[in-house]
Structure 1
Amino acid sequence: MVLNFKNNRVSIYLFLISLIILTNYLLYNLEVMQPLSATAVIGSLIDFLIVIPVTTYFLIIRKKYSLKYMGLVLLAGYGLAYFIIPNHHLATYSFIPYIIAFSEGALILIELYLIYKVVKVLPEILKKLKNNDINTSYFLLNLRKNIEEYFPNRRIIHVLLSDLSMFYYSLFSWKRKVQISTGQTFTYHNKTSVLAVYIMIIHATVIESVGLHYLLHEWNAIIAFILLLFNIYAILFSLAEIQAIRLTPFLLTDKILYLQVGITSSMELPLNKIKEFKYYDGPEKLSSTEQKNIYDARVLDFIQEKPMFEINLKEKQKIHLIFGITREVDRIILNVDDSQTFYRSLLEKLEFNS
């Protein structure tokens, strides 16, 4: 049987990580392995702080997620080392938490430098944002367009763009209302439980933050502080999703269909690129192969409803995901609250553009 690496990379990853954890656990708990030399401890630390992060990067993070997650992976690796390696062995390497903290600090400094680069041209960007036809509701879309003029093809700048959008929607958009100067808007969340999902996530994160921070602070204050920052980030992200979903309905103009789902995905689709628009008649659950070529423009839900509509494209178009990740698709599936009006309106626009 030929192993399809792409489809099985998560299984391969879990197998490798489980093997590393198991072998290291047995190393310190089997009597036949005692006494252990100093090199055995060094080998374990290499497993947890180098092998696991590198494996995670190549099998999980690469091309899909931001490198910022590597800090969390490194932290998790040290946590595994702390619980598996006996304290009298690990005490010799008490400097490791400081190295991890330094690494996190370096990532923060890099991001601050990028912020400085953006701030230098921010007055011009803000001036252009004010003159945009699509008003402040579509902050992420407008910001991306303007930043690309100054920093074309700079992936790391797009990572920063995600953070700027997150801070805007989570902290500065609460008094905003949907503001559109042209086109028709269609909400996509009112008939779902997506807002309740994110409120539950925020609630669980707050409870976990308080309890875990207290426990970890007794063990290591630096690690507790780093985890607290990650939890604050998660809360801000969830708040941003709530606000972005509320403020960015799908927008249909004479030439373009704008699809933005929270801050996690968006697409600017020219209507002349649409090959077919119809009610969805496919399976309720899509295979992993189908998902690679489809933009699923639906929100999270406790019970995910079957898609209402399907859009087939003449050629692959780009969608923007979080942290500057892009992907090309040739199909779109989506739901809207006012399905009949959306169906009639889009058909009329397509006929006009044919």
Structure 2
Amino acid sequence: MIAKQSRSKTPIFAVLLTAVVFSNYLAYRLPAIPLPPDTRGMVIGSLVDLSIVAPLLILAMTRKKGFTLKRFVTFMVLGLVASRFIIPSTYFAPFAFIPYIAIGGEALFLLAELSLIFLLIKHIPSIFREMKLQQTSGLFAFPTLVKQKVSRHPLVSMLAAESLMFYYAFASWKRKPELAENQFTLHQKTSLVAFYIMLIHAIAIETIGFHWWLHEKSVLLAIGLLVLNVYSIVYFLADIQAVRLNPVTVGEDRLYVALGIGKRMEIPYQAIEKIEWGAEAEAVSLKDKDVIDFIARDFEEGKAHCVIHFNVPLTATMLLGMEKPFRKAAIRLDEPVPFRQLLEEKMA
């Protein structure tokens, strides 16, 4: 009931935002609205509407993405830039410097974020040294060390995720997957690798054939499509290697489970409320927004061998380093019986 009420407020905020923008636009152009001799107070009111009220309404409309200072400043700058076109130049002239100041402030934010990139590069050698001492794989250790030594900023997390993608796509092919007694694969009894290879071939053929035709129509679109297709191929190559080299690991105090570079999670045993196996696990809907599934892609839909329920929401790391909380994890393994035996021993 609460969710329905919160969703119903979004159109209201959209209507209010439209009213704020158009009322300020029409106030300077309708002959029926007399303008005061000194319009500076009126312009200041419009600037407040467009730089404060409008951004707050946009944040309210997109509240699921969170209320952050960075997002507010970005919308404020956009509002001030828009004011240059909404308010006629005759009245806006005394305040023409304001949008430039706002853009300069946004540029400072951008420079601060770019400095995080150099900070990440500076700490890469020490991160690599500490990774060798970690008992977990680089897929888990690298992002954790980046957060500890550099920043938890979304830009840094995205760069760390992209670095992992390029590592697995180009620098991991000499490594051979070796299973320890506490590690279990997710993909060997599926057609995941064959499915990815089929996708790579399809993208490569489409790129070669369609690119030249599109190049004659639009060079910009052809280049954009080429970049997107090359990125997709690199991603699929990285995902294949990440799946092969990062099996599910039953650690001393937690479970490390990943499916490629776009989905991974650490599950402490103390956060496990219960585990469903067999028919009970298969009955759980994988479309539930609270469920994250670690089921290898196959030509046929796979069923979960186990569903782990958490007593508190746990965060999973998704594509581009984005994080999302879940209450359950559904897992399908190549060898579910020994996995269950070892997991129950560790939890006991």
Query: Does the alignment reach a TM-score above 0.5?
Result: yes
Q: Which TM-score applies when normalising by structure 2?
A: 0.65
Question: C-alpha distance in 2, partners of 1:200/1:113?
Answer: 40
Question: C-alpha distance in 2, partners of 1:284/1:204?
Answer: 34
Larger C-alpha radius of gyration, 1 or 2? 2
Contact 1:186–1:336 (8 Å) recurs in 2: yes
Q: Percent identity?
A: 30
Say which SS state the counterpart of residue 213 (structure 2) adopts.
Answer: helix
For residue 175 of structure 1, what is the amino acid of its counterpart?
Answer: K
How many residues were matched structurally? 251
Question: C-alpha distance in 2, partners of 1:333/1:277?
Answer: 10
Question: C-alpha distance in 2, partners of 1:200/1:126?
Answer: 34
Say which SS state the counterpart of residue 176 (structure 1) adopts.
Answer: coil
Cα distance 1:218–1:300, how it changes in 2: closer, same or farther (>3 A)? same
Residues 276-285 or 152-161, more deviating: 276-285
Cα distance 1:340–1:285, how it changes in 2: closer, same or farther (>3 A)? closer
Give per-residue Cα distances to partners, 1:261-303, cap 9 Å, x unaligned: 1001111111111111231415557274xx2111211121111
Matching residue of 2:91: none
Contact 1:111–1:160 (8 Å) recurs in 2: no
Of 123, 137, 144, the match for 1:121: 123
- The alignment's C-alpha RMSD in Å is 3.1
Cα deviation for residue 113 of structure 1 reads 7.0
Cα deviation for residue 177 of structure 1 reads 2.1
Unmatched segments (≥5 aa) in structure 1: 8-57, 64-108
Does 2:270 align with 1:272? yes
Does 2:135 align with 1:133? yes
Matching residue of 1:323: 320
Matching residue of 2:232: 234
Cα distance 1:174–1:5, how it changes in 2: closer, same or farther (>3 A)? farther
Matches within 5 A, 1:182-201: 184-201=182-199
Question: C-alpha distance in 2, partners of 1:114/1:268?
Answer: 26
Cα deviation for residue 256 of structure 1 reads 1.1
Matching residue of 1:37: none
Residues 274-283 or 227-236, more deviating: 274-283
Give per-residue Cα distances to partners, 1:87-128, cap 9 Å, x unaligned: xxxxxxxxxxxxxxxxxxxxxx99987654421211111111
Cα distance 1:189–1:6, how it changes in 2: closer, same or farther (>3 A)? farther
Matching residue of 2:161: 162
Question: C-alpha distance in 1, partners of 2:188/2:209?
Answer: 34
Question: C-alpha distance in 2, partners of 1:157/1:243?
Answer: 23
Give per-residue Cα distances to partners, 1:299-331, cap 9 Å, x unaligned: 211112211111111211111111121111121
Does 2:176 align with 1:174? no
Unmatched segments (≥5 aa) in structure 2: 8-60, 67-110
Contact 2:184–2:334 (8 Å) recurs in 1: yes
Residues 166-175 or 303-312, more deviating: 303-312
Cα deviation for residue 260 of structure 1 reads 1.0
Question: C-alpha distance in 1, partners of 2:343/2:321?
Answer: 29
Cα deviation for residue 222 of structure 1 reads 2.9
Question: C-alpha distance in 1, partners of 2:284/2:168?
Answer: 31
Of 221, 224, 237, the match for 1:223: 221
Question: C-alpha distance in 2, partners of 1:208/1:110?
Answer: 40
Matches within 5 A, 1:242-321: 242-280=240-278, 281-282=280-281, 286=285, 288=287, 291-321=288-318
Question: C-alpha distance in 1, partners of 2:6/2:209?
Answer: 38
Cα distance 1:204–1:285, how it changes in 2: closer, same or farther (>3 A)? farther
Contact 2:286–2:330 (8 Å) recurs in 1: no
Cα distance 1:114–1:194, how it changes in 2: closer, same or farther (>3 A)? farther
Higher relative contact order (CA 8 A, sep 6+): 1
Cα distance 1:239–1:216, how it changes in 2: closer, same or farther (>3 A)? same
